[in-house]
Structure 1
Amino acid sequence: MSPALPVTLNDIISQAAERFPSHEFSFITSSAHNSSIKVKTFSSFNQYVHNLAHAMLEWKKPAGSIIIIYLTEHEDNMAAIWACLIAGYVPCLQPALSAQQAHKDGHVAHIKNLFSSSNWLTTEVGAEQLNSIDGLDIYLLSDLKSSSSNYNVPADWVPRNTQPDDDAIIFLTSGSTGFSKAVVHTHRTILAACYAKGEAWVGLDHVAGSLEMHMAPLLFGASQTHVHASAILSDPLSYLRLIDEKCINITFSPNFLIAKLKRDLEKRSDLIGTFDLSSIKRIISGGEAVVSKTAQSFVAVLKKLARDPFKVSLIISPGFGMTETCAGCIYEPIDLATTEPKHEFLDLGRPIRGCEMRIVSPEDGKTVRADGESGELQVRGPMLFVRYYNNMEATSSSFVEGGWYRTGDVGIIENGVMRLSGRIKDTIIIHGISYGIPELETYLQTVEGVTHSFLAAAPYRADGQETEGFIIFYSPTFDLNGEHASMNLFATHRAIRDISVKMITLSPQFIIPIPINQMEKSTLGKLSRARLSSLFKQGELAKHIARADELLSEARGASFVIPSTETEKALAKIYAMIFNLEENDISASDNFFDMGSTSIDLIRLKREGEAHFELPEIPTIQILKHPVLSSLANYVNSLLSKGTQAEEYDPIVPLQLTGNKTPLFFVHPGVGEVLIYINLAKYFQNERPFYALRARGFDAGHSVFTSVDEMATCYAAAVKRTQPTGPYALAGYSYGGVMAFEIAKRFEAMGDEVKFIGVVDISPHLVDRRYKLDWTYCVLSLCLFLSLVTKDAADDLAPSLRPLSRKEQIEIVWKQSPPERLLELQLTPDKLDHWVDVSGSLIECGKDYDPSGSVAALDIFVPEALRERKEDWETTGLKPWDAFSREQATYTVVPGHHHNLMDFDHVPQFQKIFRTRLEARGL
């Protein structure tokens, strides 16, 4: 006799533990630098969560109480959900809180008011983030675990009776268009979704990970591997290793990750035929539209890296779903190796069992559109949510007659297959993250030159573009044919771009000024984004775009300096090639970094310059110090006439000089170089100057530092020369954080005000004495920081390298380094060897350093990977900074691991968080 089917979620975990006791959950956490895997069997996990549930009952909360779960690791979130369900509570998952104090406090107050209570289960770090809000009942996961260790309850223990239509889990919407709504799902709705997904086995989706990444597979007894996103982003090869080693059948990869993996892995010709990928059957994707060409290239790359390409059956399955639909409810599996996509974006497909979909007229929400016609997408089925918590108005307005839910998306159904063609909702989705259009518009309305209430932002994606972008339409306050129109337009567009980049990490693809007498509003006084977008696509706004281009060219021409010398002309040609511009558009006064360059562009400039001028080297640091074309030409001329010559050491490297706010000085990390800050500095353009401080010893004739005191004194004097009076803003990543602290102490002793001291992931004790700090450690630390080796490889290499000579060690790491990365960094074995000397000298300085004294206030930036490691956090980690700050030190979480906080993937979010702390300090 077959066992009874689960009728509540609680039955799922009990049945899985009983029927598949030895099946496993595997977890790779954000803090696992060595990608070690924690494993729990279904049986042991079931026992663990039952013990947690027993401990929860000690809180004496009534049945049905809502528990807000604010944790970061998959295992902890998973365990907390099950413990709540078993104890008879209703879990509500809280994503990462905003780093902006006002937004965070407003959100938490909203949740408190919505639920009429606030029970939070979190970590010590999470509790610190919540300590500014009164009236919260905060419970620590560490205390709950400690209490649960006293119990060993029966695996089938049931403290409270649960019914299928009881509230099961509450999910918060993104809040991209205002404060989050609370989506209520019952045991019945979630089980309906799990059964339907399981039939087609489409179980992994990021919209509601606890359902599709965990509960649906658990219902069918599937072992699972849960990986923190940062582990894949920091080491794309781990994606392939996991498929190989764990025999993964199904995985989830949103479009932006597919694009990143394609970019990173297609370069690895050294890995062709390396991985056994025969187990993988389906890659599910959601969150944003999947670009067909990107997906095809990704599949081709995986086949190339597979040990046996003919055994690889890679099916990409785009999906559509929402929090309200228990995540994915429409899917379209497609084998891109054998099937050519019909459209620019992969179709989203057909609904799962029990789910229905239709396209209707957006005007009345009821008239069904014909096959192939565009309209509002609506869905219905047993997996739909039952209500928005304490918000009946929003609930009723989300449904139309017949139980159809209004998704807010514009779609087309053709021959039973659905694809999206737009969105009714006020959001822009960039790399899978939703940003609210109204909030962006509100800030842009404040720009000088923008007529208030005559600005609209609309999503836009050009052909072949990998992620969504947007267009800004606005009416200027000035006459576009007036005397100063060109300079006014230039300043207005620059301000619009700056605000956009800082708010949603992306600049508008088009900024279109439309005279106010030609900007139509509705009878309700609103601009129609849909109409403006339609006019743009039809070419009706071409005359406004052309006029803007004409005026911007005129503004640029006012300060344009024609390159005159042969060297300037040659550099202008290189600048034009790098930025895809016409050679005639390059001015001798152009600043390389103001043109939007990245660290990769810098390497290209160096490489092309050396080749053209037949120079053995143009030092990178000299390009940083001579970013203006005419200045760089003069430096190149000096090399051509005299050869490389030693210059007086100056630690200050200006990375961008525009803006009127207090300058920011960022001290180098432990590798001594400052290239890592290039991508960060561009976010401060037209806001504040950004200077980096580079270590001594890289250039010929310059000795290394011999003590922290010597270094700090030198840096303090250099900052003073650059900015004679305060207030000062100092920061440092890794090693540089301690140096920023030391510089600040010297300034305060002189009576100067230091308003901001930012310490990014470094202990006040500078050098971690737990490690063997020998030359091998210096080699591997530098190589890890430069992305020449992975953390796994560095750990594996250390024992075998130590007995070898210095030369042999360099030879081995050199052979293991990706050739394209060595080319990007313009490294040679001798340069790497010298770089290790400089880095090693900094470690030597730090060995004898003991922190002392204090400063007015410290801002500590904590990587996600560290904040859950309680022992490291409280002892050898960052928490000891409290002793060196006269005010309570502020701790702010930033995405990533220590070695990738400033890389291309994390710096857009880092700069937003960092900026909020500058603003909080009055800067």
Structure 2
Amino acid sequence: CVEAYCIYSTDIFESGTIAQMMGHFHTLLEAVVANPEQRVLQLPLMKSSELHQILVEWNNTKTDYPRDKCIHQLFEEQVEKTPDAVAVVFEQQSLTYSQLNTKANQLAHYLQNLGVKPETLVGICVERSVEMVVGLLSILKAGGAYVPLDPNDPSERLAYMLADARVSVLVTQESLIASLPENQAQVVCLEPDGEIINSLSQENLKTGVKSENLAYVMYTSGSTGQPKGVSIIHQGVVRLVKETDYVEFTPAQVFLQLAPFSFDASTFEIWGSLLNGSQLVVMPPVTPSVAAIGETIEKNQVTTLWLTAALFQLMVDEQLERLKSVTQLLAGGDVLSPSHVEKVVSDLPNCQLINGYGPTENTTFSCCYQVKKLTQQSSVPIGSTISNTQVYILDANLEPVPIGVAGELHIGGDGLARGYLNRPELTAEKFISNPFENKSKLYKTGDLARYLPDGNIEFIGRIDHQVKVRGYRIETGEIEATLNQHPQVKETVVLAREDNPGDKRLVAYIASKDNSLNISELRQLVQQKLPAYMMPSAFVALESLPLTPNGKIDRKALPAPEAKLEGNFILPRDPVERQLAQIWSEVLNIYPIGVQDNFFDLGGHSLIAVRLMSQIDKQFGKNLPLATIFKGQTIEQLATILRESTDSISWSPLVPIQPNGNKRPFFLVPGGGGNVVYYSFLARYLSPDQPFYALQAIGLDGKSEPYTRVEDIAANNIQEMQSVQPQGPYLLGGHSFGGQVVFEMAQQLQKQGQEIALLAIIDTTPPEPENNLSDLGWNDATWMNYIGRFLGYLFGKELNLSYEILERLTPEDQFNYLYEQLQQINFFPPGAGINQLSGLVKVFKANSMCSYFPQEIYPTQITLFRSIEDYPEKVMEKEVLESLGENSNLNLPDYGWSSFSSRPAEIYEVPGNHISIVAEPHVKVFAQKLMACIEKAQVRVDGYSPDKI
């Protein structure tokens, strides 16, 4: 007798799993003893009872459904039952079952007169509308099968599908005629042909079509570079929506038709509703925002809803309150987030949440999992087979794998497609003979899965390079084939990456022939040939693709894409741009973002755009169409659109340059101009999880008057700062004139009993009893010249300012002259009014002429950042230079700050001069030293470094 023991980690394995594994091992040993000459691969792991459970018990799903009926025949039976019930609702339109039947019959007679009969493929290219539903139903009534064509697809792709399907008749709308590719089909245009159609018979048609005839051909992504048509018969659709067990189909249900009708979820939405007497609510044709979806659900009291996994997460995050009417919520198309599942289960107790799984090749759904309680699992199972469906998890030899062991998912049953249109070899490869049931087929999904002990199935991933992104099944080979058409592309590989949880994106890696690749050309190529959902979110150019030792592309070694920011990085310049930048950073998970960075180049895609528009609606109260992102692909462009539709945007001195992160925020006061725009350079180099706020000057908006006392500026800054951080310790900094302001802020905070963890003085000399600039007697031309040259130098641009020209101009023309020069360095956002320049000049003058001298010694240490180069002579007026020359403190290591503090200053020398230390290229060194001081201060007051947790 041999005894065996298994030692295992209880953190990883459950006792039942180990017991099962030991049982399999015991069965294997018995087989070895009984058949010592047998090949190991042919030895069993499972006992006959487990095999019977997997093959028979868990696949016993047959129900008595109308398998011999067609879709349109069942609809006509429903019309007899509930002729006056509302069948379809679209915006302000609605049709009863009787009215829908009449319209569909008339169009069906027209199609039949054009030669449509069983197995005839009829293209339909229409917007989501009542006409879409009428068109689909009429094609089936005429005996034909519909080929849905998304009008938003590229013309080249539509042309391929029309030719591949040999479409003989094409139903469309007048508004789409001009955008359709050339084709050989007879075109039925619903509007101009409407008079003839409406004169035809309203009676049901006789066609001789049977349940094994084609109902539709739906095109999905193909690995060869062209889409492939999946041929679905009537029986497959009927099995999906009649006498089934995964949802309730009753006349009381209200379905939302949200999916594109070229996507197989629409099969469930449309025919699940219309073959069961339910009401179908059709969303408008434009890509809706989550707010619009939520509003439609709430307004129409939708009860049955299908959402892709990504849209499910968005709706749960932002529109959960509006889902209270939903009693059946199906989600799928990708892995569901357990935390969002838990949220629905806990907050919507009257809603049955269902995780739906199934390929187009098996008519929409194959497995479903009804979530009954909060899941404690790391993933949500895809459940068990639905009615009249069989599932087998097999190894490479088509042998069943034991419970808990991963294998390829194979699907059979009445939902199985006939195959791929005009692709016999691919059909034979993917639709194989069923080894467990004679005269039937199995579809090889390419999905890895395993049985759980309770009979539910857990999805693990893909065997091949097919992926699911935002609910769409995509062959990455089709994208690769398209990219390879570019003459400069040597080789390419496309992956679906999920570098941020819940945000799966397509990434294209390209090796070019001569390193002269233009990414915008590649984006344009994909846009011309593939639908929008197949556009990679990021393009990564590499010298060569990494290889494994055996010479294959090493996909695991491909780097995560980095957000590509424009070289001309420009920080937000007004409240609209700042609020937008904050929203973009949140939805794209990137910081910092410049106002001229492109949304799509940063990895944006359609679902992120939906979230973006939702946040804009919340922030600005403007419900912009999703298509706005194509007109405003940068913050600068989008801000212009918003300004045109926004009367007033709130203006605040507190600017959240980077508000995210778990560290103490750092507050920074700008120099004499009071504008925080030049902190764009510093923002790029501070830690991305370091909250960073700037305090711009009152009066910059050109409407309010600037303060004239440092004490007042400091008091106002404290009030604004404490709206974010009510209590200390505080991390404070100030550059140039801002150094004196922040010193006064520290003094006032000390009197409040607050602690200052860091007081960073950035190249500022201590206050003096008399301000040497207050009595200069400068005229407006001198001020304009000084301000212009200062700002130009700060941004590394030399303005074509002329003092002689300024002196000859009127005050109004001086403003216009300087405004035009500053626009050339993108200092102001497009369309900014002259009042912004007026505010800047007023603030500059007021700050330059402030007199300030503290009354008390600062009780703790000052941290001084000192530039190592002299003031730039070409920027400063001679009076300023003379004033600086008279300041003996500039020769002291600490500029003389020891006279104002009880402790010696901590001094850091930084390359650059007074202005250039906060500009490229020196700002990187300054940011590193500043960040080190911030982290040291946090450790001192909090006892740990937040980024080390």
With the length of structure 1 as denominator, give the TM-score of the two structures.
Answer: 0.52
Q: Distance between the aligned counterparts of 1:219 and 1:107, measured in 2?
A: 30
Q: State how far apart, in whole Å, the 2-side matches of 1:388 and 1:213 are.
A: 23
Residue 120, structure 1, aligned to residue 175, structure 2: no
Residue type of the partner of 2:171? L
Q: Which amino acid aligns with 1:178?
A: G
Measured in 2, the distance between the counterparts of 1:633 and 1:4 equals 69
- Does residue 466 (structure 1) correspond to residue 502 (structure 2)? The answer is yes
2:814 is equivalent to residue 699 of structure 1: no
Name the CA distance, whole Å, in 2 between partners of 1:346 and 1:500.
38
Say if 2:140 is the partner of 1:108: no
Whole-Å Cα distance in 2 between the matches of residues 614 and 39 of structure 1?
Answer: 60
Contact 1:196 1:354 in 2 (8 A): no
Q: State the AA in 2 paired with 1:324.
A: E
Alignment map for 1:69-468 (pairs within 5 Å): 69-99=124-154, 104-105=155-156, 107-109=158-160, 111-112=162-163, 114-130=164-180, 132-154=181-203, 157-175=204-222, 178-195=225-242, 197=244, 200-201=247-248, 206=259, 207-228=263-284, 230=286, 233-234=288-289, 236-265=290-319, 279-297=325-343, 303=347, 312-335=349-372, 338-343=373-378, 345-361=379-395, 364=396, 366-402=398-434, 403-415=441-453, 416-441=455-480, 452-453=490-491, 455-462=492-499, 465-468=501-504
Partner of 1:812: none
Answering whether residue 546 of structure 2 is matched by residue 527 of structure 1, we say no
Q: CA-to-partner distance for each residue in 1:653-691, whole Å, 9 max, x for gaps?
A: xxxx9xxxxxxxxxxxxxxxxxxxxxxxxxxxxxxx999
Does the C-alpha gap of structure 1 residues 494 and 74 become closer, same or farther in structure 2, counting only changes over 3 Å?
Answer: closer
Cα distance, 1:165–1:258 mapped onto 2, change above 3 Å: closer
Higher RCO (C-alpha 8 Å, min separation 6): 1
User: CA 1:471–1:243 in 2, change beyond 3 Å: closer, same or farther?
Assistant: closer
C-alpha spacing 1:263/1:10, structure 2 compared with 1 (3 Å): closer
Alpha carbons 1:374, 1:411 under 8 Å: kept: yes
Amino acid at match of 1:358: Y
**Shift in CA distance, 443/381, structure 1 to aligned 2, threshold 3 Å:** closer
> How far 1:14 moved relative to its partner?
1.0
Residue pair 2:122, 2:144 contacting (<8 A) in 1 also: yes
**Counterpart of 1:868?**
none
What SS does the aligned partner of 2:113 have? helix
Secondary structure at the counterpart of residue 191 of structure 2: helix
Q: Which amino acid aligns with 1:122?
A: T
Shift of 1:180: 2.3
Q: Which moved more, 1:37-46 or 1:257-266?
A: 257-266
Where structure 2 has 5 or more consecutive residues not aligned to the other structure, the ranges are: 1-63, 250-254, 435-440, 572-580, 603-633, 640-650, 659-665, 685-692, 708-779, 789-794, 796-824, 839-949
Q: Select the structure that is richer in helix.
A: 1
Which residue of 1 is the match for residue 11 of structure 2? Answer: none
Contact 1:500 1:507 (C-alpha < 8 Å) held by counterparts: no
Structure 2 Cα separation of the partners of residues 76 and 468 of structure 1: 34
One-letter code aligned to 2:318? D
Distance apart, 1:48 and its partner CA: 1.5
8 A contact 2:308–2:332 mirrored in 1? yes
Alpha-carbon distance in structure 2 between the residues aligned to 1:647 and 1:27: 63
Measured in 2, the distance between the counterparts of 1:628 and 1:498 equals 29
Separation in structure 2 between the aligned mates of residue 500 and residue 256 of structure 1, nearest angstrom: 26
Q: What is the CA distance between 1:16 and its match in structure 2? A: 0.8
Q: Is the 8 A contact 1:476 1:515 kept in 2?
A: no
**Which residue of the other structure, out of 98, 103, 116, is the alignment partner of 1:48?**
103
Q: CA deviation at 1:119?
A: 1.9
Is the 2:390–2:412 Cα contact (8 Å) retained in structure 1? yes
CA deviation after TM superposition for structure 1 residue 61, in Å: 4.5
Q: CA deviation at 1:171?
A: 2.0
Find the counterpart in structure 2 of residue 877 from structure 1: none
Shift of 1:71: 0.9
Give how far 1:22 is off: 2.3
Contact 2:127 2:285 in 1 (8 A): no
Match of 2:876 in 1: none
CA deviation after TM superposition for structure 1 residue 18, in Å: 0.5
Label 1:65 to 1:370 Cα distance change in 2 as closer, same or farther (>3 A). Answer: same
Amino acid at match of 2:365: G
Q: Secondary structure at the match of 1:260?
A: helix
In 1, the alpha carbon distance for the partners of 2:486 and 2:168 equals 38
CA distance in 2, matches of 1:226, 1:640: 46
Aligned-partner Cα distance in 1 for 2:325–2:582 = 47
Residue 97 (structure 2) pairs with residue 58 (structure 1): no
Whichever residue aligns with residue 281 of structure 2, its letter is T
For the pair shown, the structure with the greater C-alpha radius of gyration is 2
Contact 2:327 2:352 (8 Å CA) reproduced: yes
The Cα of 1:189 is off from its aligned counterpart by: 2.5
Offset of residue 256 of structure 1: 2.0
The answer to whether the 8 Å contact 1:444/1:499 transfers is: no
Distance 1:447 1:135, change over 3 A: closer
SS in 2 for 1:142: coil
Structure 1: distance between partners of 2:377 and 2:465 = 28
User: Do 2:507 and 2:537's aligned partners in 1 also have CA atoms closer than 8 Å?
Assistant: no
Once the two structures are superposed, the pairs formed by residues 856-875 of structure 1 within 5 Å of their partners are none
Does structure 2 retain, via aligned residues, the 8 Å contact 1:320–1:331?
Answer: yes
Pair 342,54 (structure 1): closer, same or farther in 2 beyond 3 Å = same
Deviation at 1:319, TM superposition (A): 0.9
Aligned to 2:88: 26
Letter in 2 for 1:372: G
CA distance in 2, matches of 1:445, 1:89: 37
Give, in whole Å, the separation in 2 of the partners of 1:440 and 1:690.
Answer: 37
Instruction: Give the Cα–Cα distance (whole angstroms) in 2 for the partners of residues 576 and 394 of structure 1.
Output: 48
Q: Partners in 2 of 1:697 and 1:635 — Cα distance?
A: 18
Q: 1:496 to 1:629 in 2, by over 3 A?
A: farther
Query: Deviation string for 1:299-339 (max 9, x for gaps)?
Result: 66xx3xxxxx7xx422321111122111112111114xx42
Checking the alignment, whether the CA contact within 8 Å between 2:172 and 2:189 is kept in structure 1 is yes
User: Can you list the C-alpha shifts for 1:17-40, whole angstroms capped at 9, x where unaligned?
Assistant: 101122212333xxxxxxx34211
* Alpha-carbon contact 2:231-2:418 (below 8 Å) kept: yes
Contact (CA 8 Å) 1:359, 1:412: kept in 2 or not?
Answer: yes
- What aligned pairs does 1:762-841 form with structure 2 within 5 A after superposition? none
CA shift for structure 1 position 253? 1.7
Shift of 1:128: 1.1
Q: Distance in 1 between matches of 2:674 and 2:345?
A: 40
Say whether the 8 Å CA contact 1:331–1:348 is kept in structure 2: yes
The residue correspondences of 1:718-757 to structure 2 (distance < 5 A) are none
SS in 1 for 2:232: strand
- Contact 2:698–2:706 (8 Å) recurs in 1: no
Contact 2:337 2:502 in 1 (8 A): yes
Deviation at 1:422, TM superposition (A): 1.7
User: Is the Cα contact below 8 Å between 2:236 and 2:417 reproduced in 1?
Assistant: yes
Once residues 46 and 350 of structure 1 are traced to their aligned partners in structure 2, the CA distance between those partners, rounded to angstroms, is 36
Pair 617,389 (structure 1): closer, same or farther in 2 beyond 3 Å: farther
Q: CA deviation at 1:378?
A: 0.9
Contact 1:52 / 1:144 at 8 angstroms: preserved in 2? no
How much does 1:349 deviate?
0.9
**CA separation in 1, counterparts of 2:467 and 2:672?**
44
Q: Give the SS at the match of 2:365.
A: strand
Q: Is the 8 A contact 1:25 1:224 kept in 2?
A: yes
1:351, distance to aligned residue in structure 2 (A): 0.9
Q: Alignment length, in residue pairs?
A: 571
1:67 is displaced (CA, Å) by: 0.9
1:365–1:400 CA contact under 8 A, matched in 2: no
Q: Tell me the SS of whatever aligns to 1:143.
A: coil
Deviation at 1:96?
3.1
Equivalent position of 2:73 in the other structure: 11
